[in-house]
Amino acid sequence: MKAYIFPGQGAQFSGMGLDLYENSPLAQDLFEQANNILDFSITDTMFEGSAEDLKETKVTQPAIFLHSVILAKILGDSFKPDVVAGHSLGEFSALVANGTLTFEDGLKLVSQRALAMQKACELRPSTMAAVLGLEDAVVENVCKTTEGIVVAANYNCPGQLVISGEIEAINKACETLKAEGARRALVLPVGGAFHSPLMEPAREELAAAIENTTFNTPNCPIYQNVTASAVNDNAAIKNNLIAQLTAPVKWTQSVQQMIADGTTHFTEVGPGKVLQGLVKKIDRSAQTASATFEAVS
């Protein structure tokens, strides 16, 4: 079986999507539609903006979504996933790719999600930290025993777990994790505690938007971050998408389950190669590749 996987925040780069725009009339049309839907020229920032410009949440999330979804669409008939999955934000790209969401609705939800998350970040000073070289159970235990709000947020691959929470609690947890033998416990340059209880205001806001959006029957199952299992049911997809903002991203578990269910090939669709690297760390036998426009042009 073949899985198509879609990256999340952090995969952006200056000039992203320009090659698609310049070489595909369909891509050009979709990018122009996006500018109209968002009511600002996101293409200017994507194609010509600095790395700093692209870090702004209201730009970052739609930019990565657009790069991923437009690439999937211009692959045409060669885009034939048996299953899809996305890391955090990437789950929205995956849902457009498997026909659950339209391009327009997917982009609107991603934009609303980004703005809601930005507002939640501004309400409470918070951050995230990457922890390398420890068993998940050790990290989870430190989170539980640290005063304040700090939780496991991203299970990226064995030995790489991101924690999320209040700044003071994260700093304390990092000290304890280093004492426990972590190779690194590094605070990340992010604006807030994604996938933690601190995102509750954003979850409520996104829930209302998702409930008012039409979800179609998917063309193939999606392995969702919250459950790490294949989902076909629209009501379940919606609930998992809403829960995702305050729940951990179970990427390790999702990939393991996809492989257990018969997936052998993972093709990353969108900017960067982060997910391919994680898949290889989860299971060396998995075949990985990037979806490239050149291959079908």
User: CA-to-CA distance for 212 and 194, rounded, in angstroms?
Assistant: 23
**Angle of the 57-74 helix axis to the 25-38 helix axis, nearest 10:** 150
Closest CA to 85 of 202, 216, 231, 217: 231
Per the structure block, which two tokens stand in for 134? 């420890």
Count CB atoms within 10 A of the CB of residue 217.
10
Per the DSSP assignment, residues forming a β-bridge with 166 are 126
Q: From the candidates 24, 88, 93, 164, give the one annotated as an active-site residue.
A: 88
Contact 240, 231 (CB under 8 A): yes
Contact 269, 93 (CB under 8 A): yes
195 is known as an active-site residue: yes
67 is known as an active-site residue: no
Q: From the candidates 68, 195, 196, 254, give the one annotated as an active-site residue.
A: 195
CB-based contacts of 208, cutoff 8 Å, min separation 6: none
* Cα separation values, 79 from 142, 223, 237, Å: 43, 18, 22
Catalytic site positions: 88, 195
